[in-house]
A and B are shown apart, each in its own frame.
Chain A
Amino acid sequence: MSNIIFDRVARHFRRNGVDLAAVDGVSFEVRKSEFVAIVGPSGCGKTTCLRMAAGLDFPTAGSVTVGGKPVTGPGPDRSVVFQQFALFPWKTVVENIDFGLRAARLPLTERRERVGRYVDLMGLKGHESAFPHQLSGGMQQRVAIARSYVLDPDVLLMDEPFGSLDAQTRVVMQEELIKLARVSPRTVLFITHAVEEAVYLADRVVVMTRRPGRIGEIIDVAKVRMDEHWDRHERVEDVMDEASFVHLRTHIWRLLREQQSRNEQ
């Protein structure tokens, strides 16, 4: 498994001849098999950070390295789960999950076995030959997550994966993701604007500032989770009821709120 290192990363765009900094001086590490969530107001460059780790975008200054190697382009060692699911509409559930395995030219028997495992794990049994448009949003995102996990990537990059789901589905998917992370732990970079989601899922939460995106604070959630034994709860709402959870959540909210008011002045 690999770590991700952002080292003084800046990303500037030119728009109508004006130089805009989307991200500026961002440095942090996602350690091996650690789950890090980035939260921040919209337009703070959190998605830009993820895209640079994915190799879909590149820093104008500084460097992004995964497993010690600078990122030069996209690759199956760094799977991405998109907010829009990005499933191939003309492929069935199984064909979608199989796509990356075929790209890797794995033998058929192994592909079948791996696809089958993730169909089971993500609760997609009975929907194998359905097309994406026949599935609900939640089911579609299960397919997208399976399609990424099945490649056994070193690193998982998730860009607001539950952002377009309704509240109940979202909670179910959060629980599923935690279960999946226990079965097969990964190095995860997770982008969200939902503070509770970040605190519930992540080992550490990176709070980013409004444009140009900088790092405001990094909060160690894993320590609190361990100390307060959040893991004894099965359900999201029980964890979210813990005083320590509420405390962390409020702390992050205040950080974001300060940003907001500073920006309005």
Chain B
Amino acid sequence: MRANVALRRREFVVLSCAGLAAFFAIWALASMLGTTARQFLPPPWVVAEKFVELTHEPFSGFTLQHHLLSSFARFGMGFTLAVLIGIPLGLILGWFRWLDVIVSPLLDALRFVAPIAWVPFAALWFGTGIGGPVLVIFTGAFPPCVINAYRGARYVDQHLIEAARTLGARHWQIISEVLLPASVPSIVAGLRVSAGLGWQSLVGAELIVASSGIGYVLVKGQASISTSIVMSGMIAIGIVGFAIDALLRRAEMHLQRRRGGDR
């Protein structure tokens, strides 16, 4: 049994690597064919070289790690804000029907407005300060937090709510001790979506309202028509996004294992 699982895991890794290798091969081939100017589609090794160079030679004032760090700090703030406001709001909407009826149409409409649409307001309200990017990240990360907390709260086993009510629990105790723990699986799944959207929105925000950060690297690279810098930035965004998701997925799996025997 155990050997079987290990073998599968090895197969999994091999296949993943094969996929990546195929991707780079096609990329290299497309670049070598020369149908597009080499400058516009640089081969992987040129990009890799640039990537390494960016890690120790400052570009637009900072090294790549530095840009990533300042991006990550903004992401952290926007995401944390979205979680801290979104999850309680979702639970409250899931509990109070009347509030749900008042607020939900507005929220449902707002979530179709792409985070990037907020960029002009971010610029107008906050200038080049930290507030702008944080606002844009927040608008991206907020809806999944609300929606998943709301769904979790709505689908709680009715018997548990009835038990809590007959035991004399008030609204606050039901929300914090019944709805919240019952919604944890749904909330954690929402956090993964939320982090992904937040990280994506961040790049959009930094395209316009920042003077550092990974999105800023993309803009500057584009301005100097250095496609290898743009691609290096894209790769860095992908790697960090993947890392954030992997971290949250681990948290999710850990949680599922711990709650495996519930119900």
- Chain A residues proximal to chain B, CB less than 8 Å: 54-56, 73-76, 78-80, 82, 84, 86-91, 99-100, 102-104, 131, 133-134, 147-148, 151
Q: Is the interface of A mostly helix, strand, loop or mixed?
A: loop
Ordered by A's residue number, 29 sampled pairs between the chains whose C-beta atoms are within 8 Å are A56-B165, A74-B162, A74-B165, A74-B166, A74-B168, A75-B166, A76-B166, A76-B167, A79-B166, A82-B159, A84-B159, A86-B157, A86-B159, A88-B160, A88-B177, A89-B262, A89-B263, A90-B181, A90-B182, A90-B262, A99-B164, A100-B167, A102-B173, A103-B170, A104-B168, A133-B261, A133-B262, A147-B167, A148-B167
Whether A75 and B168, one on each chain, are in contact in the complex, defined by CB atoms closer than 8 angstroms, is yes
User: In the bound complex, what is the Cα–Cα distance between A102 and B178 (angstroms)?
Assistant: 14
Whether B166 and A103, one on each chain, are in contact in the complex, defined by CB atoms closer than 8 angstroms, is no
Is B77 in the interface zone, CB < 8 Å from A?
Answer: no
User: In the bound complex, what is the Cα–Cα distance between A102 and B170 (angstroms)?
Assistant: 11
Q: A79 with B262: in contact, given A88-B178, A90-B181 (CB under 8 Å)? A: no
Q: A86 with B162: in contact, given A103-B173, A134-B261 (CB under 8 Å)? A: yes
User: In the bound complex, what is the Cα–Cα distance between A54 and B181 (angstroms)?
Assistant: 25
User: In the bound complex, what is the Cα–Cα distance between A90 and B262 (angstroms)?
Assistant: 8
User: In the bound complex, what is the Cα–Cα distance between A235 and B96 (angstroms)?
Assistant: 49
Q: Which B residues are CB-close (under 8 A) to A102?
A: 173
Nearest Cβ distance between residue A158 and chain B, in whole angstroms? 12
Nearest 5 A-B pairs (CB), nearest first?
A76-B168, A100-B167, A133-B261, A86-B163, A86-B159
In this complex, how many residues of chain B approach chain A with their Cβ under 8 Å: the count is: 21
- Chain B residues proximal to chain A, CB less than 8 Å: 157, 159-160, 162-170, 173, 177-178, 181-182, 259, 261-263
Residue of A nearest to B182 (CB): A90
User: In the bound complex, what is the Cα–Cα distance between A102 and B261 (angstroms)?
Assistant: 26
Whether B160 and A56, one on each chain, are in contact in the complex, defined by CB atoms closer than 8 angstroms, is no
Whether A103 and B168, one on each chain, are in contact in the complex, defined by CB atoms closer than 8 angstroms, is yes
Whether B177 and A99, one on each chain, are in contact in the complex, defined by CB atoms closer than 8 angstroms, is yes
Whether A54 and B166, one on each chain, are in contact in the complex, defined by CB atoms closer than 8 angstroms, is yes
Q: Which A residues are CB-close (under 8 A) to B168?
A: 74-76, 100, 103-104, 151
Residue of A nearest to B160 (CB): A86
The residue in A74, A75, A84 that gathers the most chain B C-beta atoms within 10 A of its C-beta is A74
Q: Which B residues are CB-close (under 8 A) to A74?
A: 162, 165-166, 168
Q: Which A residues are CB-close (under 8 A) to B165?
A: 56, 73-74
Q: Which A residues are CB-close (under 8 A) to B170?
A: 103
Whether A80 and B173, one on each chain, are in contact in the complex, defined by CB atoms closer than 8 angstroms, is no
User: In the bound complex, what is the Cα–Cα distance between A133 and B170 (angstroms)?
Assistant: 26
Q: Which A residues are CB-close (under 8 A) to B261?
A: 131, 133-134
